[in-house]
Each structure stands twice: as C-alpha cells, then as structure tokens.
Chain A
Amino acid sequence: MFNRKGQSMMKKILIANRGEIALRIIRTCKKMNIETIAVYSEADADLPFVKQADYSFLIGPSPVVQSYLKAQDILDIAIKEGADAIHPGYGLLSENAHFAKMTEEAGIRFIGPSSSIIASMGDKIKARKTMIDAGVPVVPGQESMAEDLESAVKFADKAGYPVMLKASNGGGGVGMVRCNDEQALTQHFESTKKRSESYFGSGDLFIEKYIPNAKHIEVQIFGSADGEIYHLYERNCSIQRRNQKIIEESPSPQLTDTARSHILKAAVQAAKAVDYRNAGTIEMIVDESENAYFLEMNTRLQVEHPVTEMITGIDLVEWQIVTAQNIPVPITGQHQIKENGHAVEFRLYAEDPVTFYPSPGELTKASFPEGENIRIDFGYEQGNKITPYYDPMIAKIIISDETREACLMKAEKVLDEVSIEGVKSNLPLFKTVLNSESFKSGHYHTQSLQQMKKGEN
C-alpha cells in the first residue's frame, strides 16, 4: 500500500507488550487502518488486548523470561505473519538494543530509535559522557565506573554525602540506592553490584551527587524523520514511591518561565546530540535554585505520555508509526506544537497503599467515570485477574482542564467516582496527595510523598 506521495504504508504491526499499553497502541492502529498482532502469555489469555488485536498468539508461560522477553520467538511470529513493524511499548523489550537490532536485521521496522541510539543511552555512564560533550549539564558524578569500593568512597568524599549509588545499566528507579555516609556506601556497594548483575546483566556502578528537595522534570522529545527535533513540553513527575512515578502533570507548577525555557532548550540540545529519532524523554533533576541536570534518556514511549497528549492534542503513537515509515511528522515547526490547559495523571496500582507491596487478585469490580477531558487507559475488564507476574498497574486516570486549579478540582471528583474491588489499591493515597499543602501549592519534590504519608505536609 502506498500513500499519495508514493511512500509505502504499514499494514500490520506486532505489539510486543501487554495490558493497557498494548490496547492503547491498538487504538491508534485502528484509527490508521493498520492491523495488529498481539502476543501474550498464559496469564494474560483473558485480557482485552488479546481480544481486540486482529491476530493473537500465545508465546509462553506467565513469567516474562518465558514469554514477553523471548525476543527470537516474538520476532519469528512477526516474520511469519508478515508484520511491517514491531511496537515495543514501554518496559519489557522496549529499550533492549539487541532486540531492536535483530528486528532491523530481519527487515522489520522497530518503532523507536535505532538500536545504536538505544545502546548509547542505555549505558548511563556513556550517556552522561555524551551529554557532557554536548554541553548539557549532568548531575555531578563520576565520569567512569566505580571500579571498587575504594574508588567509590574516594569520589563520594570529594563530592560530599549524600550520594546516589547507581547501576550503569539500570533505570526506571531500579538499581539505585541513596547513601548518607561512608558507612552506608560501604554497606551497600557489594549488594548493589550483585543485584545489578542479576537484574541488568552488568555490575558496573557509578556515583552521583544526591540532590535534595529536587523536582523530577522530564521533557517529551520527538525526532522527526526529516531530522528535526521537537519538544512537547515538560512533565513534572516528582510524586514518587521507591523512585517510581505515580502522579505526573503538565505543565509543571512552580517553575519560572526562565527555568522552563532553559529546560526545554537543554532537552532539545540533548536529543540533537544523539541525532534522535522517534519519541523519547529527557529526564532531568531540578534543584531548589532551578538548576537543571540531565539524569537519563528514555528511548521509548513513556507510561505517562497521555499527559502530554492531553495538553498538545497530538497522538504520540501515531507520530511514532509515521516516523517509523520514514515520513516527517505533519508540522512545519516547533511553533505548531501548542499546549492547552493542564493535565494530570494518576497511576492506579493494585498495591497496598501503605507498604506499596503488590496486591494481586481478581478485579471483582472496576468502574471509572466517563466525561469530557477524562481519559482512562485501562488494560483489564471486570473479572480479570491482576497476576503477580507483571507490574500491578490497573489503570491510568488522566484528567485535563483549562487551569491547574480546575484540573485538580475535577481530579478529586473523578477519583471519588472510581471504584475498585477485589484487590487493594493505592486510590486512597491520591486523596492524601491532593489534600497536601505541598501538592496544592505545587512546591513538591521527590521526597514529598514520603513526608505526606508521615503527615508532615
């Protein structure tokens, strides 16, 4: 199939993911008249994404290593079924450079950047170096890996405690530990090394200075097929538990215009440094004086991308697919990407709201309000089981309105109407956040949620 310009169009896409993100990708594919192939594990056989895809294939037992991480098996299905492209979603194989390379070599398009960009950003030490060379400020830290405890201690002494000890191949909040003093660093060094070896396949560690009361602000970037790099504004993702985001909003409150334009510019500069293509996110840490530092780049669609879609009106998955077809995105410049109003996302998890431990079980009831400017990205249906094999996110609840104040007021009403039964959920926590002074004022940072839970704010 060809479009009017004679460019070949995709007809079939395999989605190498599950749950809500697989469904979300199917939705855009349907809009674009592209057929979808779902692959699923035994645990997911009854999930809506399996039914809604045009074709579905069982790939194996429930654990991810036997199913969703079986790169060759997934690729074989794509080849056999004549898929033009593979969309990896987020997590799982999405930032696996080897999988992207295998896909490219099989003549199938990987919907994302090239395997070499994924590899260069996946190695956090290398990514830091690339950004320093490009003139992008990075969190003060080591330029090379901490060979042993002795060199780590030496560096930490120089930088000053507290420090973050991180796995070079880590990310997403896993494989990092805050060390307040030499004793803590000594205590955590070997275990963090061992954990990152078993978790990420590499025990390389490095040290970054810990920045207190920091905002986690990230910029949505898009590299068009014609080489242009655009930003789609920022998201404030500072409400976190265990270094993982649970509430995100855009635009970020309490950020001066000067700091904001500096952050957006730095993010574009960072993406240009690697000649980025497709959707990506530049994560930054912003300190109390509004200094912004590069943290890492995520070379895929983010969980929280709907926040950006709500304020820009752009379908990021559509742009991803267009770009994978080597067609420039349908705008003539940055000025055409406009932001309208305010959006906030809540990640609803099947987990204990106090300990944050997962709470798998049957979703006996799940109901969400409907309405204008309310978007629910929900990967299950009532009666489905939330199994212990995967991330226990039940749904993403996204709300937008003209102003932040109106948006948060609306959010409170929407959340009141959400009803989840059969599993424990973090729904009560959202109310605590919405009612906290720090969230209301917008002066919140990555430690705020812990403080709210203790009733300190």
Chain B
Amino acid sequence: MKEIQSSMAGTVFQILVGEGDSVSKGQTVLVLESMKMEIPVDSEQDGTVKELKVAIGDFVNEGDVLAVLA
C-alpha cells in the first residue's frame, strides 16, 4: 500500500483528486494552506486513489497520511 503524506503542518485548502482517480508521479493531489502560502502536495508514484483521509478544512501535521494509493 502506498501513502501520500503531508510535507508540513497546515490546513487542507483544496483536494484535486477523487477516490478512484488514477494519479501519476509528480501530479499535485491536494493543496495545503500554511503561513499565508498554498503548498502543493504531489504524488510520489503512479497509482489509483484508494482512499482520501482528509477533507477540506482539516488541520494536518507533518507526516500525516493524506491519501492512500492502490
């Protein structure tokens, strides 16, 4: 199982993929908001989004799992 983790603490600002979508390496899957910045989180591998672990507005810490890829 492959996971997409948060690179830093922040608030989930945008989610750009849905469960079941296929994503490729380097694709931005969601955008975090922190310190007035929007920070993209990219997938590190190809795969299909099996589960989204967060919703818009959630606060996440560095290392939290944001999505699970199959």
Chain A: residues with CB nearer than 8 A to chain B?
63-65, 91, 172-174, 190-195, 197-199, 242, 244, 355-358, 388-392
Report how far A216 CA is from B59 CA in the complex, Å: 31
A65 and B9 contacting across the interface, CB-CB below 8 Å:
yes
CB of B7 to closest CB in A, whole Å? 7
B35 and A390 contacting across the interface, CB-CB below 8 Å:
yes
A195 and B39 contacting across the interface, CB-CB below 8 Å:
no
B37 and A358 contacting across the interface, CB-CB below 8 Å:
yes
When the two chains form the complex, which single residue of A63, A173, A194, A388 contacts B39, counting CB atoms closer than 8 Å? Answer: A388
Instruction: Identify 28 residue pairs between A and B in the complex whose beta-carbon atoms are under 8 Å apart, listed by A's number.
Output: A63-B62, A64-B35, A174-B36, A191-B57, A193-B57, A194-B55, A194-B56, A194-B57, A194-B58, A195-B11, A195-B33, A195-B56, A197-B57, A198-B11, A242-B38, A244-B36, A355-B40, A356-B38, A357-B37, A357-B38, A357-B39, A357-B40, A358-B39, A388-B39, A389-B8, A390-B35, A391-B35, A392-B37
Counting contact residues on chain B (CB < 8 A from A), the size range is 10 to 19
B38 and A199 contacting across the interface, CB-CB below 8 Å:
no
Instruction: For B7, list chain A residues within 8 Å (CB).
Output: 388
Report how far A190 CA is from B56 CA in the complex, Å: 9
Instruction: For B58, list chain A residues within 8 Å (CB).
Output: 194, 198
CB of B26 to closest CB in A, whole Å? 13
Chain B: residues with CB nearer than 8 A to chain A?
7-9, 11-13, 33, 35-40, 55-59, 62
Instruction: For A242, list chain B residues within 8 Å (CB).
Output: 38
Report how far A192 CA is from B62 CA in the complex, Å: 22
Given contacts A63-B8, A198-B58, A355-B40, 9 further A-B contacts (CB under 8 A): A190-B57, A191-B56, A191-B57, A194-B57, A194-B58, A197-B57, A358-B37, A390-B35, A391-B37
A199 and B35 contacting across the interface, CB-CB below 8 Å:
no
Residue of chain B at shortest CB distance from A191: B56
Instruction: For A194, list chain B residues within 8 Å (CB).
Output: 55-58
Report how far A314 CA is from B36 CA in the complex, Å: 29
Instruction: For B12, list chain A residues within 8 Å (CB).
Output: 195
CB of A338 to closest CB in B, whole Å? 34
Report how far A242 CA is from B59 CA in the complex, Å: 20
Q: Which of A190, A199, A392 has the most CB of B within 10 A?
A: A199
Instruction: For A391, list chain B residues within 8 Å (CB).
Output: 35-37
A389 and B13 contacting across the interface, CB-CB below 8 Å:
no
CB of A19 to closest CB in B, whole Å? 12
Instruction: For B36, list chain A residues within 8 Å (CB).
Output: 91, 172-174, 244, 391
CB of A88 to closest CB in B, whole Å? 16
Residue of chain B at shortest CB distance from A171: B36
CB of B14 to closest CB in A, whole Å? 10
Report how far A388 CA is from B37 CA in the complex, Å: 10
Residue of chain A at shortest CB distance from B14: A191
Instruction: For B35, list chain A residues within 8 Å (CB).
Output: 64, 389-391
Residue of chain B at shortest CB distance from A356: B38
Instruction: For B57, list chain A residues within 8 Å (CB).
Output: 190-195, 197-198
Report how far A356 CA is from B13 CA in the complex, Å: 15
A195 and B38 contacting across the interface, CB-CB below 8 Å:
no
B9 and A63 contacting across the interface, CB-CB below 8 Å:
yes
A198 and B59 contacting across the interface, CB-CB below 8 Å:
yes
Report how far A389 CA is from B37 CA in the complex, Å: 10
Instruction: For B39, list chain A residues within 8 Å (CB).
Output: 357-358, 388
CB of A389 to closest CB in B, whole Å? 7
B13 and A195 contacting across the interface, CB-CB below 8 Å:
yes
Report how far A74 CA is from B56 CA in the complex, Å: 33
Report how far A358 CA is from B31 CA in the complex, Å: 12
9 smallest CB-CB distances across A and B, nearest first, come from A194-B57, A198-B59, A191-B56, A195-B57, A191-B57, A198-B11, A358-B37, A195-B11, A199-B11
Residue of chain B at shortest CB distance from A358: B37
CB of B66 to closest CB in A, whole Å? 15
Report how far A389 CA is from B39 CA in the complex, Å: 11
